[in-house]
Structure 1
Amino acid sequence: MHPSPPYAVRLADEIARQIQVLNNHLAQLPAGQATQVLGRILDAEDGLLGRVTSLVITGSHFAKDHAERGALPAEVWLALGRAANQLDDIGLDLDEHADTIRALDTGPTTGAAAVQPAASALVVRRRR
């Protein structure tokens, strides 16, 4: 008989499963509810994105300590550090649009006379 995995491993597996459930729900929610969920997911500090970023940062600290002792290759620490930095940058980029996402949830406040937003061509911008 195999020993049961440690609690933290079971927790990580459960969180991954819950994220998949959330993904499935998000794909099927009406626009207003999806906007609410998306706003919470993308919150750079308290949302899912912020928490995952924090988790990767913690993993980077762990890897640094182990790399300094020779237990892990330095490349592992560097890769986790890069991932943490990139996630943080993504969070900052998305944070610029948080108000727009929240505004979709509230909708127009002026009633029936409100002008519907015009569709625009999708333009890909990349900032480096």
Structure 2
Amino acid sequence: MTHPTPDSVRLADEITRRLGHLSTALHDLPPDQVIRVIARVLDPDNGVLGAFTQLVGTGSLFARDQAERGALPAEVCLALGRAANELNDIGLDLDEHTDILAGYGGPSGPTTARPPAPAPLVVRRRR
């Protein structure tokens, strides 16, 4: 089993640090910019979520190979596979909303359209 090069580990650390900075910066941005940043992050083709999903999928394939060789427990392989599948499903669920997010704050449609009304979020309890 090869070990990651220090550059790869540093790259992962840098990506993590910069994502933390981005998350912190969102608090200081106006709402329209926050939505645009989130839309870019969630972009299925060029966004962070898609890239992260691909990274976990690649890790899953590596873990499967290593589990078949006996170097990793099968549980690790299965957990990474489930994570990759769940991330893919999340991306598919969000994909239908990325166009709305990307267009947020942009030129609006016809002037005869009714302005958007606030939508209360209701939590329903199971009894």
TM-score (norm 1): 0.84
Distance 2:15 2:69 in 1: 30
Greater percentage in helix: 1
Distance 2:8 2:96 in 1: 34
Distance 2:115 2:19 in 1: 33
Q: Which amino acid aligns with 2:41?
A: I
Distance 1:107 1:118 in 2: 17
Distance 1:81 1:16 in 2: 22
Q: Which amino acid aligns with 1:56?
A: V
Identify which range, 95-104 or 77-86, moves more after superposition. 95-104
Following TM superposition, by how much is the alpha carbon of 1:11 offset from its aligned partner in structure 2, in angstroms? 0.5
State the partner residue of 1:28. Answer: 28
State the partner residue of 1:122. Answer: 121
Distance 1:72 1:43 in 2: 33
Indicate the SS of the match to 1:104. Answer: coil
Unaligned runs of 5+ in 2: none
State the partner residue of 1:78. Answer: 78
What RMSD in Å do the two structures reach over aligned CA positions? 2.0
State the partner residue of 2:51. Answer: 51
Unaligned runs of 5+ in 1: none
TM-score (norm 2): 0.85
Distance 1:89 1:51 in 2: 14
Q: Which amino acid aligns with 1:119?
A: P
